[in-house]
Chain A
Amino acid sequence: MKKQFIKILSLCVLGAATIFVSCDKDEDDEKPEVKTEKRVYILNEGSWGANNSTLDVYYPDGENTYQSKIFASANGQGLGDTGQDLLTYGNRIYVSVWGSNYLAKLDQKGKIVEKYEFSAEEGQPRQLAAKDGFIYVSTYGSKVIKFDTAAIVAPKGSVEVGPHPEEICISGNTLYAAIAGDYTVAYDSTLAVVDLATFSLKDKIVVGLDPTNVVALGDNLYVIHYDTATWAQEILEVNTTAKNSTVFDGGVKMATDGESLYYVKSYTDYSDYPNTKTVTSFAKKDSNASPLDLTATPELSSATVYLFVIDPENGDFYVGTTDYVTNGVIYRFDKDGKFITKFETSGISPNSAAFLK
């Protein structure tokens, strides 16, 4: 008697339940090989907490121009959460993944060769720089940590630079780190100066509140910082010998081809908030003309630029945009600023690109 009722009960419940459960979607098993022609690797940050960071590859010279999610194809698992920075060095790809807290050395197909997981004391990794066989990583443990590219499984040293170091750059035998500061307490406003020979903190240069980006060009450094009162960003030109800085223009992203500084300017009009209007333009230092011709891509003049990279070989510009929700779009221009093509990436917020030949 009792058994019969259990049977009836479970049948009723099961019946009602199965109505809504749809079949699983089929997996696509096609995983094309990464080719050996010239490549541009593109890192999509994804959205925080969603483990949806991806790595793509673009072939600027070939026919089959784009391959999505090569890290997932090569490793059978995803990059993880919040891919932060990407660079290529000595035929290897290095990627720092902030949320998932690791630095990985990848082969050209995106397969992990070596991986280093940061300790709680070291803090989660941010930006990368490379020189003379070493990779340098800024971490939220107030450090810049050094790795030998031959084996990244253990660090080769670390130096305290200050709270929340962001972008790092190397000029000669000196590394500079933008120190943004812990926003929950107080913003910082310095550049940390690290001597690479001794790998020690040599100096601090006061620049401006909340510095996030730094690039070196000639004898000067260029730093982007936030004006925390208005949340507008501006570019400072830093003289490293005189240790002073001057504002030369507004700007949100910078890139250099080794000769000139190119930058993205974006201004937002908040007067009718939340109906904001953002105007984005591109500029070259000491030049009045726009370096990029936006007639074919008028949407860029109101876009949020998340990636701005120059191909060191041929001077092509790569401009990546984000809306933080849908997949990013990359625009490619040649060195004279003529629009070549645009394509969608496999993830949200493409933030870095690196080249290999």
Chain B
Amino acid sequence: MASALLWAVPLFAQSDSIIHRDVEAVDVEAHRQKRQAVPMQTMSAVEIQQLGVQNLADAVRRFSGTNVKDYGGVGGLKTVSVRGLGAAHTAVSYDGVVVSDCQAGHIDIGRFDIGSIETIALTIGQPDGLLQSASAFAQAAMLSISTRKPNFAKRQTDASVRLKGGSFGYFDTQVEAARKVRHSTLSGTAQFMRSDGDYRYTIPNVDTTETGRRDNSDIRSARAEINLTTADSSRFQNHLKAYGFYSERGLPGSVIFYYQQANERLADKNFFVQNDCRLRLRDNLIFRIQAKYNYSWNRYEDTNVKYANGRRVDLNTQHEGYLSMAGLWSWRPIDVSLAGDVIYNTLESNMMGNPQPRRLTIISALNVRAALQRFVATATLVARHASEKVEFGSRPDDLKRLTPALSLKWSNNRVTIRAMAKKTYRVPTFNELYYTTLGTTRLKPEEARELNVGFDFGTGKFDFSADFYANDVDNKIVAIPTLYIWKMANYGKVKIWGADVAAGTEFDIAEVRLKLTANYSYQKAIDVTDSNSKLYKSQIPYTPLHSGKAAAVATFGKYSLSATSIVSGKRYFLEYNIPENEIEPYTEFSATATRRFDIGGSQLTASLSCLNITDNQYSVIKYYPMPGRQFQLQLNFFL
């Protein structure tokens, strides 16, 4: 029994803590990062605070194998692509339920608040737990965000207040309160954030430099969440969440030499309500039902004399209905899970030529796992059917695809050896299909194949892991020009291979606990679309061959001190690999000091961070400069 349940434990254990109370303590906590059949990396709330991590993108870029496209500043778009596959291949889940954006395809991870996160986990390939929605198995990688759960160790009420302030007019405050009543917990969160984002930049221009301040880079956002969790013995657990988000920001655009006219504004509204329910019907049978309704709205506005009436306003509204049912049966040594998702998406837009598309997607996933002593094998089959309706014009063909995945693992107390092969694809986004003149409904899905072999070695004091991978992307969806008209097409082929190596150690010197971690990634991602092209075998844009991260944390009593660095080798910002198209390598250093104060039974932590200490003027996306040196003070009060 224990083994069956162990496999059912999802990547982040909180929401399973009731059903799997027996296994959680031993397995999940101790081996959260290790012993998986696929590469998995996590970061906890404690690490986030100790390392002075600014936002979710800043956390994810510290993982190996990731490529975070960051357009700079608090409000700049931030998307995560894993191992060269492109952002739309990474699913993001928020408290267990997958977040989607059928219009853009990628998720702006800058939107999620880092302060309420308890754990972030990035899995490449298959999720390790079997009791997941079918959507979770249908993606090449998954970024799972789980928010903090209230702590009722001392009393039936839990509350916390957070204040953050920093350079460039950054201010952020959040209040959380929770109350426990018998088997249920009701909690609420309210957050407000603002930033001017008017940081200085310096960009070389031949023999001179262009200097300026980011203009129209301000953002304000507000968020509220209500959670109701109910757990009745080990048989039933339910998590109901309502989430509301609003933001209004300026889009500073790329730095254009000699002229800055930045008038673009973007407002976003997002509301969802989701329910995640687990039922243990018998000792060897668990069900999980997830349901969600999501509303998202955005308004893009640009003011420029080139538009009729001097203004352009795009309005987009998306609705999503989502239902997922999954069951896990266990007959030792075989576990079987079956999941089925039904998803309905709509887009309403005022943009010229938008046919108001509606999409119905049905995904099923079958998993079979065999655990024989130290050896575990999992086979997965995902079937997807998608069909679209439009008000006018053409629509894409119905889509029916079957994709397999296989993972193998051998482990003992110290060593895990793993191998994984997976095929996935992503469905074209509404923008790719229908965007004015650019979109085309003839698109096929973009396919991704992943192969990974790797191992972990861990003694508790010293951990080491190495993974080697070979991926390829086929039928890549790109905008290509035909004469003077650009349209989306399934044109590209990309081959990617690389290695992610990570090491960590933790030891004491006198009363000081020292934790050192470092990782290095090598990634070759080349365009193999056309052997007659000048671009054949060129490294794809924004993909450094070498990158690495290092962090050191020293804790002594109530103090902790950290230093981190992020290093990226040269990249190209355009497809053609010539020196003019290079982006310089960069290194960013940050340091954070934290002190804990115990006030009665309550706790206050204060952190002071200096980010980008050397004031390095670099950019991730060419001509979207990143902020220079900045300071941040954070106060967290826990009742």
Contacts and interface: CB of A to CB of B under 8 A. Distances in A.
Interface of A: 1-2, 5-6, 8-10, 12-14, 16-22, 25, 47, 49-52, 72, 75-78, 80-81, 97, 99-102, 117, 120-124, 140-142, 163-164, 182-186, 231, 252, 266, 268, 270, 273-274, 276, 278, 304, 323-327
A141 B305 CA distance: 5
Contacts of B254: 49
A163 B208 CA distance: 36
Nearest to B569: A20
Contact of B481 (A19, A100, A141, A304): A304
24 contacts: A5-B561, A9-B563, A17-B548, A17-B550, A20-B568, A20-B585, A22-B569, A51-B255, A76-B206, A76-B207, A77-B257, A78-B206, A99-B256, A100-B258, A120-B305, A182-B307, A184-B352, A185-B308, A266-B483, A274-B487, A278-B482, A323-B481, A323-B534, A325-B575
Nearest to B553: A9
Contact of A268 (B483, B514, B535, B561): B483
Interface of B: 205-208, 253-259, 261, 304-308, 312, 352, 436-437, 440, 442, 480-485, 487, 489-491, 509-510, 512, 514, 516, 518, 534-535, 546-548, 550-552, 554, 561-565, 567-570, 573-576, 578-580, 585, 587, 589, 622-623
Given A51-B256, A99-B256, A122 B305 contact: yes
Given A17-B567, A51-B255, A120-B304, 8 more contacts: A13-B564, A14-B565, A47-B574, A51-B257, A76-B207, A123-B304, A182-B306, A270-B482
Contacts of B440: 273-274
A149 B538 CA distance: 45
B623 to A, nearest CB: 6
Given A77-B206, A101-B258, A184 B307 contact: yes
Contacts of A270: 482
Contacts of A266: 483
A327 to B, nearest CB: 8
B565 A13 contact: yes
Contacts of A50: 573-574, 622-623
B491 A274 contact: yes
B342 to A, nearest CB: 31
Nearest to A118: B259
A276 B482 contact: yes
A80 B570 contact: no
A270 B480 CA distance: 13
A325 B516 CA distance: 43
Contacts of B509: 5
CB-based closest 4 A-B pairs: A274-B489, A16-B550, A140-B306, A76-B207
B268 to A, nearest CB: 21
Q: Which residue of B253, B256, B440, B490 has the most chain A CB atoms within 10 A of its CB atom?
A: B256
A238 B588 CA distance: 61
Nearest to A72: B206
Contacts of A326: 534-535, 576
Given A49-B623, A325-B535, A326-B535, A274 B480 contact: yes
Contact of A231 (B485, B516, B580): B485
B484 A252 contact: yes
B574 A1 contact: no
B305 A13 contact: no
Contacts of A325: 534-535, 574-576
A278 to B, nearest CB: 6
B306 A9 contact: no
A76 B483 contact: no
Contact of A16 (B518, B562, B580): B518
A124 to B, nearest CB: 7
Contacts of A52: 580
Contacts of A49: 253-254, 256, 623
Contacts of B569: 20-22
A342 to B, nearest CB: 15
Q: Which residue of A121, A141, A266, A325 has the most chain B CB atoms within 10 A of its CB atom?
A: A325
A14 B550 CA distance: 9
A17 B551 CA distance: 10
B212 to A, nearest CB: 13
B306 A278 contact: no
B554 A19 contact: no
Contacts of A72: 206
A112 to B, nearest CB: 11
A102 B257 CA distance: 11
B542 to A, nearest CB: 13
A140 B302 CA distance: 14
Given A13-B564, A120-B305, A274-B442, A304 B484 contact: yes
A16 B565 contact: yes
A142 B589 contact: no
Contacts of A117: 258-259
A102 to B, nearest CB: 6
Given A124-B306, A268-B483, A51 B623 contact: yes
Contacts of A183: 352, 436-437
Contacts of B205: 51, 77-78
B612 to A, nearest CB: 13
B257 to A, nearest CB: 4
A47 B575 CA distance: 11
Contacts of B487: 273-274
Contacts of B574: 47, 50, 325
A88 B277 CA distance: 73
Contacts of A75: 206
Contact of A99 (B259, B304, B307, B562): B259
A324 B307 CA distance: 26
